[in-house]
């Protein structure tokens, strides 16, 4: 079957393209601004990429058009597909209908930590010679790629996003996955462009819970009011709690980040790694509880996590120049920003932290979370906030006004070069610069390192 994928360079749709290719299909695709690293991954697999969404692509005459959620009405190729009566389907539905049946699906959902927890879970299975199939929104160096599929394997780890499926299917993507094991990592208000309030997101999570069989397992943190409300609406599966008062708990981390894992109060072993932060310990507990449901003993999972090398763009050290370390992090929600900075503060002690922030997500650009930003940035010594005046990155609020509670510590910029110059002027040896964005941020990491080196 020939599939033509619209929006192929997105993390999910690009991963889906790799899986479709591995399943034996002919795959082509298009996107606006075909860009690496996904374009490189796809080209290496022999997948033809077309720049833009021209209506002339209808002449490719694929058996099926697979639509990503970046595509909306008015897209010229989509309009041509609709006018012609050609067959089309959303990416999540195609995956749910053609790949996931017969698989033990382990889905990782939640507002924060999906990519890291999915990577941990896939690595636990990988290190135990299970060779799982997976589709993850990032690349863990241990796994080398963001997606993999072997039809001979019956275990599939998937990052389960609550964002909408497509312009014609406003359900969350994860309702198509029908997991047997589901991690509900946390739940906060996000995606203000899609959901009016937290209750609307809770409803989508309730729909996910409804698809999990009685023989399945739901892994959920202890003490989450939002997730407790979700489960109170109906739960038909085993529920396993992690965190404080949960069946799975973490002992305090030592100076190197190692911590003991307690299963029902019994010491199951120690994860010996260098990843910092309480959030990573909670992610690890969730991954261990899910892997157990797939047949992996806690000891095996703990041994695997002790060799886990992290995930790209999650406090990834991009380089050091003139004694200044520059990190890349995906944080783009106030809770994630606060968690990232808290973890770094615990790691570096009294050293200065310079936070460079691009509020790029639709929720952040709309200003829905703006009033929470100052508190989330308290651990930073200096804050540099970027928001272009025009184009897709334009903000609906003024950083100078929103960040005023931080006083002279915070400054706003609408020119990237000016921001880089300000950071470099302020930085001194021993500082830690953490760049937080869910996008490429104009290659600011390299620009900072180059300027610092000069």
Clarify whether residues 123 and 84 are in a common domain: no
Clarify whether residues 283 and 157 are in a common domain: yes
Clarify whether residues 294 and 406 are in a common domain: no
- What's the confidence (pLDDT) of residue 258? 86
Please list the residues that pair with 432 across neighbouring strands.
325, 353
- Residue 320 belongs to domain with CATH number: 3.90.190.20
* Token reading at 9: 């360079």
Determine if residue 206 is labeled as part of a ligand binding site.
no
Clarify whether residues 340 and 438 are in a common domain: yes
Separation between Cα atoms, residue 276 and residue 253, nearest integer Å: 8
Give 263's Cβ-side CA count (13 Å radius).
15
Clarify whether residues 159 and 190 are in a common domain: yes
Tens digit of pLDDT at every position of the chain (454 positions): 999 999 998 889 999 999 999 999 999 999 987 666 677 778 888 899 999 999 999 999 999 999 999 999 999 999 999 999 999 999 999 999 999 999 999 999 998 888 889 999 999 999 999 999 999 976 666 677 789 999 999 999 999 999 899 999 999 999 999 999 999 998 987 766 778 888 999 999 999 999 999 999 999 999 899 999 999 999 999 999 999 888 999 988 887 778 999 999 899 999 988 777 788 899 999 999 999 999 999 999 999 998 886 655 666 788 888 888 898 887 767 777 887 788 788 778 888 998 888 876 665 655 566 677 888 888 888 888 887 554 445 666 667 777 778 888 888 777 888 888 888 888 889 899 988 887 667 678 878 888 888 8
Clarify whether residues 155 and 254 are in a common domain: yes
In a domain? residue 278: yes
User: The whole model's pTM is what?
Assistant: 0.76
In a domain? residue 258: yes
Count structural domains, the chain: 3
Clarify whether residues 112 and 226 are in a common domain: yes
Clarify whether residues 363 and 435 are in a common domain: yes
Clarify whether residues 363 and 219 are in a common domain: no
Long-range contacts of 267-270 (CB under 8 A, 24+ apart): 268/298, 268/299, 268/302, 269/298, 269/299, 269/302, 269/303, 270/302, 270/306
> H or E element: which one contains 300?
helix 298-305
Determine if residue 211 is labeled as part of a ligand binding site.
no
Clarify whether residues 158 and 277 are in a common domain: yes
For the chain, what percentages of helix, strand and coil (3-state, to nearest 5) are there?
35, 25, 40
- What's the confidence (pLDDT) of residue 390? 46
- What's the confidence (pLDDT) of residue 40? 79
In a domain? residue 198: yes
Clarify whether residues 109 and 210 are in a common domain: yes
In a domain? residue 311: no
Which of 91, 116, 136 marks a domain boundary?
Answer: 91
Determine if residue 112 is labeled as part of a ligand binding site.
yes
- Residue 252 belongs to domain with CATH number: 3.40.1190.10
Separation between Cα atoms, residue 121 and residue 305, nearest integer Å: 9
Clarify whether residues 80 and 127 are in a common domain: no
Domain that holds residue 321: 316-453
Which of 91, 112, 140 marks a domain boundary?
Answer: 91
Which of 285, 306, 327 marks a domain boundary?
Answer: 306
Q: How many residues does the chain have?
A: 454
In a domain? residue 15: yes
- Residue 23 belongs to domain with CATH number: 3.40.50.720
Bridge-based pairing of strands 181-184 and 238-242 is: unpaired
Rounded to the nearest 10 degrees, the angle between the axes of helix 225-232 and helix 198-210 is 50
* Token reading at 374: 């100052």
Q: Which residues of 81-97 are buried (b: 16+ CB within 10 A; e: fewer)?
A: beeeeeebbbbbbbbbe
In a domain? residue 152: yes
Determine if residue 111 is labeled as part of a ligand binding site.
yes
Determine if residue 239 is labeled as part of a ligand binding site.
no
- What's the confidence (pLDDT) of residue 367? 58
Sign of CA dihedral 219, 224, 228, 231: negative
């Amino acid at each position: 079957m020939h599939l033509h994928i619209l929006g192929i360079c997105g993390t999910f749709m690009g991963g889906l393209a790799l899986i479709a290719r591995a399943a034996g299909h002919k795959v082509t695709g298009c996107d606006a601004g075909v860009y690496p690293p996904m374009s490189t991954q796809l080209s290496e697999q022999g997948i033809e990429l077309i720049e833009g969404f021209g209506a002339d692509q209808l002449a490719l005459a694929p058996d099926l058009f697979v639509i990503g959620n970046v595509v909306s009405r008015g897209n010229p190729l989509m309009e041509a597909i609709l006018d012609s009566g050609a067959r089309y389907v959303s990416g999540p539905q195609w995956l749910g209908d053609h790949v996931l049946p017969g698989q033990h699906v382990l889905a990782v959902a939640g507002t924060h930590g999906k990519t890291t927890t999915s990577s941990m879970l896939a690595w636990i299975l990988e290190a135990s010679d299970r060779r799982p199939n997976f589709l993850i929104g990032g690349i863990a160096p241990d796994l080398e790629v963001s997606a993999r599929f072997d039809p001979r394997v019956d275990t599939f780890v998937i990052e389960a996003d609550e964002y909408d499926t497509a312009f014609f299917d406003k359900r969350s993507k994860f309702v198509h996955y029908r997991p047997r094991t589901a991690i509900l990592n946390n739940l906060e208000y996000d995606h203000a462009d899609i959901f009016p309030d937290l209750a609307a997101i809770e409803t989508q999570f309730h729909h996910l819970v409804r698809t999990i069989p009685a023989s399945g397992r739901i892994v959920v943190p202890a003490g989450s009011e939002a997730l407790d409300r979700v489960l109170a609406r109906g739960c038909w599966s085993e529920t396993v709690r992690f965190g404080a008062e949960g069946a799975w708990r973490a002992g305090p981390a030592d100076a190197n980040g190692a911590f003991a894992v307690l299963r029902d109060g019994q010491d199951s072993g120690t994860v010996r790694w260098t990843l910092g932060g309480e959030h990573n310990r909670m992610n690890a507990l969730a991954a261990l509880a899910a892997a157990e449901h797939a047949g992996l003993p806690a000891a095996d999972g703990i041994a695997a996590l002790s060799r886990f090398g992290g995930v790209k763009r999650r406090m990834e050290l991009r380089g050091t120049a003139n004694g200044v370390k520059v990190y890349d992090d995906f944080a783009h929600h106030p809770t994630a920003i606060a968690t990232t900075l808290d973890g770094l503060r615990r790691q570096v002690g009294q050293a200065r932290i310079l936070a460079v922030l691009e509020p790029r997500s639709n929720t952040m650009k709309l200003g829905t979370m703006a009033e929470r930003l100052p508190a989330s940035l308290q651990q930073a010594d200096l804050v540099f906030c970027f928001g272009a005046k025009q184009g897709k990155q334009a903000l609906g609020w003024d950083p100078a006004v929103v960040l005023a509670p931080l006083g002279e510590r915070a400054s706003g910029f609408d020119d990237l070069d000016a921001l880089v110059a300000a950071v470099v002027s302020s930085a001194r040896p021993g500082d830690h610069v953490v760049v937080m964005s869910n996008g490429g941020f104009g290659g600011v990491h390299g620009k900072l390192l180059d300027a610092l080196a000069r």
